[in-house]
């Protein structure tokens, strides 16, 4: 199977196992995440490019005469850098990406589960509660009914057609 890695703008051959390794403990599929797809990094770079192209970065003190918030441009620029630093290149959950203090990841690893689909307490698990409301709830059921590789293939097919989790929030 070939997949297009948006953030790297190249195509690479991946196996079913590679795709399954992109399923987090909670059931979310990493390649469907806007952060992993490089959307934050792209947005920041696009905004910086526009600001620089128009020379706004050089005339912020003058622009602050018309819009006081421009006095804070240097801090804003640092925030954009921080966004890219923290969220620019996510390797995926199994490779240490995402929240380093993720309670779901800690629990699943402690119990020896590959995903929460294997846990008989997933319906009442407190750390998993926020994920049950979104895509992860149905994902865990799909993983349980089919298998993780089949689920990952289905998700990658959706991603290849332009899907990301942000679409669910629109």
pLDDT of 70-102, one tens digit each? 999 999 999 999 999 988 888 889 988 888 899
pLDDT tops 50 at residue 4: no
The residue among 42, 40, 37, 76 whose CA lies nearest residue 56 is 76
CA trace torsion 66, 69, 75, 78 (10° rounding): -80
3-state secondary structure of 59: coil
Predicted confidence at residue 7, as pLDDT, reads 46
Average pLDDT over residues 47-54: 95
């Amino acid at each position: 199977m070939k997949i297009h890695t948006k953030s790297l703008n190249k195509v690479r051959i991946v196996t079913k196992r590679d795709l399954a390794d992109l399923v987090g403990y909670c059931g979310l599929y990493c390649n469907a995440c806007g952060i992993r797809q490089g959307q934050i990094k792209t947005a920041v770079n696009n905004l910086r490019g526009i600001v620089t192209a128009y020379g706004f970065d050089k005339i912020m003190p003058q622009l602050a005469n018309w819009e006081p918030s421009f006095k804070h441009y240097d801090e804003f620029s640092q925030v954009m850098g921080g966004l890219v630093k923290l969220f620019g290149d996510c390797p995926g959950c199994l490779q240490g990406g995402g929240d380093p203090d993720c309670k779901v990841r800690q629990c699943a690893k402690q119990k020896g589960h590959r995903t929460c689909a294997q846990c008989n307490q997933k319906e009442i698990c407190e750390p998993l509660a926020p994920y049950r409301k979104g895509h992860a709830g149905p994902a865990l059921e799909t993983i349980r009914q089919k298998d993780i590789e089949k689920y990952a293939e289905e998700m990658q097919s959706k991603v290849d057609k332009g899907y990301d989790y942000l679409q669910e929030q629109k």
